[in-house]
Amino acid sequence: MTTDAPASSGTATPPEAPLRYTAALASEIEQRWQDRWEERGTFWAANPTGRLTDADGNHADAEAPSFFLMDMFPYPSGAGLHVGHPLGYIATDVVGRHRRMCGDNVLHALGYDAFGLPAEQYAVQTGQHPRKTTEENIVTMRRQLRRLGLAHDARRTFATTDSEYVRWTQWIFLQIFSSWYDDDAPRPDGGTGRARPITELVAEYESGAREVPAELSGGRTWSELDEVARRRVVDAQRLAYVSETPVNWCPGLGTVLANEEVTVDGRSERGNFPVFKRNLRQWNMRITAYADRLIADLDLIDWPDKVRAMQRNWIGRSEGAQITFDVVGGGTFEVFTTRPDTLFGATFMVVSPEHPLLDEVPAAWPDGTSTAWTGGHASPTAAVAAYRAEAAGKTAVERQADAGRKTGVFTGHLAVNPATGAQVPVFTADYVLMGYGTGAIMAVPGQDERDWQFAAQFELPVVRTVAPPEGWEGDAFTGEGPAVNSANDEISLDGLGVDDAKRTMTEWLEQRGIGTRTVTYRLRDWLFSRQRYWGEPFPIVYDEHDLPIALPEDMLPVDLPEVPDYSPRTFEPDDVTSMPEPPLGRNEEWVAVELDLGDGPRTYRRDTNTMPNWAGSCWYYLNYLEPGRRDVVVDPELERYWMGPGHDADSGASGGVDLYVGGVEHAVLHLLYARFWHKVLHDLGHVSSVEPFRRLFNQGYIQAYAYTDARGAYVWANEVVEDESVPSGFSWNGQEVFREYGKIGKSLKNSVTPDEMYDAYGADTFRLYEMSMGPLDLSRPWDTRAVVGSQRFLQRLWRNVVDETTGELTVTEDAPTDATLRVLHRTVEDVRTEMEAMRFNTAIARLIVLNNHLTTLPAVPRAAAETLVLLLAPLAPHICEELWERLGHPTSLAREPYPVADPAYLVEETVTCVVQVQGKVRDRLEVPPSIGEDELRERALATAGVQRALDGRGVRTVIVRAPKLVNVVPA
């Protein structure tokens, strides 16, 4: 049996011991202290300036280091919490309380990420307005978390759905909309490339300092463009822009989704619905402009290697060349390749089905077209149209199922290989993706496995340009080797290694003006609009030209309008032909709006999309610094104090939140988006820090066993018992059941709630158990039965100080003995080390040792009790406050200095020296720690154990590691 019914008889208060530390007494103490902390403002963090002072009205002490501590933004679920949820909140609370006792000014608060799909779905299900259900859920969650005793500054809480917060989310959107990325602008850190206000771009065009890019101007100068054309030129360069691009359309959710929200199976991360590629006009954010900085600055921050690797991987930087190919009969197109050295082996071309080259294809098949290439169609026009339609209807799942079995069709186009001059056929195939590189490749079957497969399928020629090793029997050879078959009148790569060949070829291409060195990224721009109700509206209107116009700041926030129906228009999950239909479009009075934006009152049309729920979590850390500001998104002085580079010893060159704790599931979503927004705000001068989160810590998950019966149905885990008589070892109601390990939740019937723990043990026991289960970053199984161990510890602590019957203090004023002082100071030293390294499980183990030692004494010396209480206070704050008060201290221990060990008591009088012969322990010696090597060697050689083990053999060498080890090596 792994999960007892939580209430056990041991927690009832026995009449003979009215002050035993039972769940009832713990609850009384805990709630009393929670009220006091709130009334006294114990955990108010003082800002250096402005309205937020500490409880005494003081601003931050300039001498005290600041420590900005954060949990990942919780989403207030309607389902309530289970025991896995608080793990991270307890951990950050322990860190915060510990840092505070170490003298830091700790900022720790918790807000709510309350927009988004789940909130909306919950509201639709319950038939209520999302604002109502969201607010109710926040109330419930606040109550459950307050009962944990978290030392948050309650003045700094907020929800992303607050109108005051939405104002600034929209304001930041407008900052991004009103910016462009200047690749050549110098940065303070020495690099080049940063966001600049779009007004500066316009000014440069007007003054002639900058020429309008030809692909945007159609060859005309700025002065030759009319007003609308100029706006199109500028709009195309904004960091937030509207464009018609292939996007992820999810009919089942009724909205488009970002790449990061689509699983590798091509389904929505939420709801697991199919996702289709559709060309739609949508908002995008130019995160790709920051790709290099998002990679490079990973080196500045203290994050788990795993998360940094995931971000690097997601951004997917690859170096190569872009090469121009001429199309026979006119026109050109570009390909991207990481292997320009293999150009001589490019025997055909492949473009993605969405490629513009296919908008016009020859009307008839060229002479000699193989029937294998035509797909049975009479003309390229028909073949390409059919293939394009087929590709558009495929989900990513289907595409993936086909991986390896290549499909495609000849387009009728022929291209010229610039190295060989040969005419090669251009195919279209869906293994080439429009969103990566140029959407077109040169196919080199000799050096690329995918191309080889395609070539085999369509009977295309193979030319090897890298010599495979002797005896190579495989297909494509992608390894290192000398170039072959790679020479023309102007250039020869033959004999060069891959790297040299790449360089030589790229130089030749650049000289000839038909290629350039290029870097490409897997990362795409961030698709930023959703066709849902419960999100931030865009602060954008459109004029008669259908061009976006930013609303002026004084019109913010744009609040959500009431609509007749806020449910999304969803479709059959596989309805490919469906079109998104934003709920905000249902309120025509709101959509059509008359405004005076400078040229008199005119009618505009509002944007009816909403922002993704990531928007709110992209900047919430800044809002903790001083929520509710009307004049500025964040006070620069507060940002420098709490987050600026060098604001404390550990903040480094990047600055940012000192410690950010949360699950690893946001590694490439929230954490990438937030870094992007932060860098834009940094470029525009709103924040001094370069990165939002200096140190990231991923906590593990608490999971639990679940049990299925013979039919595979889940049974209530808390009713399962261990049963030797059945093979699985577990039974439920007398029938054998089978154990699995998985997420805690209602569906697995293994849920345990914090409320049950508060009732059965109290919050301190619950906190202590969660922290003692193992290292914080490891996932581990919940075991309700084991919680009692933490409760026993607190009971023994309580009894060491308070008489269970009378409530009298039992501590003695006598000085501790030398032995007690040694244990005490050893514990202080070790606990400090463990706490600083966030190894709370081992810190707790040391505290238990000390407490058990005190239990053996006739009476506990006050000095030892007080030190123990202070050491334990971050972990079990309520009982420690209570004991601290009973020990005669009128004020909270929240800011008492964390104990420091006296080194005098850390020195051992004797050390056990291990005496080994050939690595095996043969004897032990009690020696003074200061013993010299020579003396130790002599004494070790003289021991009976060594003599017996040597058995007359000579000694070759003796390794001495004074004072702890001697190892004798026989001859």
Partner RNA sequence: GCCCCCGUAGCCCAAUCGGCAGAGGCAGCCGGCUUAAACCCGGCCCAGUGCAGGUUCGAUCCCUGCCGGGGGCACCA
Question: Quick check: 788 binds RNA (CB under 7 A)?
Answer: yes
- Residue 103 touching RNA (CB under 7 A): no
The reply to whether 779 sits near RNA by the rule CB under 7 A is yes
- For the range 663-666, what are the long-range contacts, defined as Cβ-Cβ under 8 Å and sequence gap of 24 or more? 663/72, 663/88, 663/698, 663/699, 663/701, 664/304, 664/306, 664/307, 664/698, 666/72
Q: Which is nearer to RNA, 351 or 894 (CB)?
A: 351
Q: Which of 849, 863, 941, 955 binds RNA (CB under 7 A)?
A: 849
Note whether 294 binds RNA by CB under 7 A.
Answer: no
Residue list 755-774, contact with RNA (CB under 7 A)? 772-774
- The one among 24, 310, 385, 593 contacting RNA by CB under 7 A: 310
Tokens at residue 825, please? 């100071």
Nearer Cβ to RNA (488/855): 855
Return d(Cα 559, Cα 590) in angstroms, integer.
Answer: 11
- Chain positions 373 to 412 lying near RNA, rule: CB under 7 A, are 399-400, 402-404, 406
CB of 642 vs RNA, minimal distance in Å: 31
List strands edge to edge, sheet with 735-736. Answer: 721-722, 730-732, 735-736
- Residue from 30, 104, 153, 448 touching RNA (CB under 7 A): that is 448
Cis peptide before 130 (omega within 30 of 0): no
Could you give the CA distance from residue 108 to residue 151 in angstroms, rounded to a whole number?
Answer: 7
Segment 665 to 684, residues that bind RNA, using CB under 7 A:
668
Question: Scanning residues 549 to 608, which ones bind RNA (CB under 7 A)?
Answer: none
**Which backbone phi and psi does 491 adopt, to 5 degrees?**
-150, 145
**Residue nearer to RNA on the CB measure, 848 or 883:** 848
Write phi, then psi, for 392 (nearest 5 degrees): -65, -30
- 924 lies in the binding site for RNA (CB under 7 A): yes
Q: DSSP assignment of 274-329, as one string?
A: B-EEEEEEEEEE-GGGGHHHHHHGGGGSB--HHHHHHHHHHH-EEEEEEEEEEETT
The two tokens of residue 368 are 């000699």
Q: For residues 62 and 264, which CB has a smaller minimum distance to RNA in the complex? A: 264
Q: Considering the rule CB under 7 A, would residue 948 count as an interface residue with RNA?
A: no
Q: Which of 382, 653, 845, 950 binds RNA (CB under 7 A)?
A: 845
Confirm or reject binding of residue 931 to RNA (CB under 7 A): no
Q: Does residue 337 bind RNA (CB under 7 A)?
A: yes
Distance CA(783)–CA(739), nearest Å, equals 14
The answer to whether residue 281 forms part of the interface with RNA (CB under 7 A) is no
Total of chain residues touching RNA, rule CB under 7 A:
85
The 8-class DSSP code of residue 269 comes to: T
> Coil, strand, or helix at residue 256?
strand
CA pair distance 400, 433, nearest whole angstrom: 13
| 8 Å CB contact between 921 and 914 | yes
Instruction: Point out which span in 29-37, 212-220, 375-383, 434-442 binds RNA (CB under 7 A).
Output: 434-442
To RNA, the closest distance from the beta carbon of 930 in angstroms equals: 16
Min dist CB 901 to RNA, Å, is 14
Only one residue has tokens 């009971």, namely: 795
Could you tell me the smallest distance in angstroms from the CB atom of residue 922 to RNA? Answer: 10
Among 171, 436, 604, 714, binds RNA (CB under 7 A): 436
State which of positions 236-265 bind RNA (CB under 7 A): 264
929 binds RNA (CB under 7 A): no
Rg (CA), the chain: 35
CB of 799 to RNA, least distance (A): 7
CB of 361 closer than 8 Å to CB of 411: yes
Q: Which of 441, 618, 894, 962 binds RNA (CB under 7 A)?
A: 441
Q: Shortest distance, CB of residue 421 to RNA, whole angstroms?
A: 21
Cite the DSSP H helix spans in 305-458.
305-315, 380-392, 396-401, 449-458
Under the criterion CB under 7 A, does residue 306 sit at the interface with RNA?
yes
For 503, other C-beta atoms within 10 Å of its C-beta total 15
User: By C-beta, is 3 or 175 nearer to RNA?
Assistant: 3
Which one of 68, 168, 241, 336 is in contact with RNA (CB under 7 A)?
336
Phi, psi angle pair for 442, to nearest 5°:
-95, 130
* 507-526: contacts with RNA (CB under 7 A): 520, 522
Cβ distance to RNA smaller for residue 155 or 826? 826
Instruction: Give the number of residues written for the chain.
Output: 971
The DSSP H or E segment spanning 521 is strand 515-521
Q: Which of residues 880-919 bind RNA (CB under 7 A)?
A: 912, 914, 916, 918-919
Q: How far is the CB of 852 from RNA (least distance, A)?
A: 6
The residue (of 305 and 489) whose beta carbon lies closer to RNA is 305
Footprint on residues 347-366 left by RNA (CB under 7 A):
352
**Of residues 595 and 849, the one with the C-beta less far from RNA:** 849
Please tell me whether residue 439 binds RNA under the rule CB under 7 A. Answer: yes
Task: For residue 51, count other CB atoms closer than 10 A to its CB.
Answer: 9
Q: In this structure, what are the phi and psi dihedrals at residue 313, rounded to the nearest 5 degrees?
A: -60, -45
Looking at 242-250, 564-572, 775-783, 936-944, which segment touches RNA (CB under 7 A)? Answer: 775-783
Please report how close the Cβ of residue 830 comes to RNA at its closest, in angstroms. 9
User: Given the complex with RNA, which of 167 and 286 has the nearer CB atom?
Assistant: 286
d(Cα 160, Cα 754) in Å, to the nearest integer?
25
Which member of 53, 237, 841, 947 binds RNA (CB under 7 A)? 841
Interface residue with RNA among 855, 859, 907, 933 (CB under 7 A) is 855
Residue 313 interacting with RNA (CB under 7 A): yes
Interface with RNA includes 272 (CB under 7 A)? Answer: no
Binding residues among 59-98 for RNA as defined by CB under 7 A? none
For tokens 């080994």, name the residue: 916
Between strands 317-327 and 409-416, the pairing is antiparallel
Binding status of residue 964 toward RNA by CB under 7 A: yes
Which of 785, 895, 948, 953 is close enough to bind RNA by CB under 7 A? 785
Site residues for RNA, 177-206, by CB under 7 A, read none
Neighbour-count burial of 441, counting CB atoms closer than 10 A to its CB (0-12 exposed, 13-18 middle, 19+ buried): buried
Shortest distance, CB of residue 746 to RNA, whole angstroms?
Answer: 20
* Nearest approach, Cβ of residue 772 and RNA (Å): 6
Residue with tokens 């609509």: 563
- Which residues lie below 8 Å from residue 264, measured CB to CB, with a gap of 6+? 400
Residue 886 corresponds to which tokens in the numbers above?
Answer: 């009973």
What 3-state class would DSSP assign to 194?
strand
Window of 65-73, 187-195, 197-205, 786-794 that interacts with RNA by CB under 7 A: 786-794
Residue 938 CA: distances (Å) to CA of 527, 913, 933, 959: 76, 13, 9, 12
Nearest to 417 by CA among 335, 325, 336: 325
- Please list the residues that pair with 693 across neighbouring strands: 657
Rank residues 746 and 961 by Cβ distance to RNA and give the closer one. 961
Cβ nearer to RNA, comparing 200 with 334: 334
The DSSP code for 72 is P
Q: Could you say whether residue 775 binds RNA (CB under 7 A)? A: yes
Bridge partners (DSSP) listed for residue 71: 661
Told to check if 708 binds RNA by CB under 7 A, we report: no
Residues 452-511 that bind RNA (CB under 7 A): 453
Smallest gap from Cβ 1 to RNA, in A, equals: 9
Give the C-alpha distances (Å, rounded to integers) separating 829 from 102, 460, 834, 904: 14, 73, 9, 12
Instruction: Select the span of 220-228, 241-249, 459-467, 776-784 touching RNA (CB under 7 A).
Output: 776-784
Q: Based on the number of CB atoms within 10 Å of its own CB, is 6 exposed (0-12), middle (13-18) or buried (19 or more)?
A: buried
Chain centre to alpha carbon of residue 873: 30
Give the integer Cα–Cα distance in Å for 507 and 490: 12
Residue 953 CB, nearest approach to RNA (Å) = 13
Q: Which is nearer to RNA, 314 or 716 (CB)?
A: 314
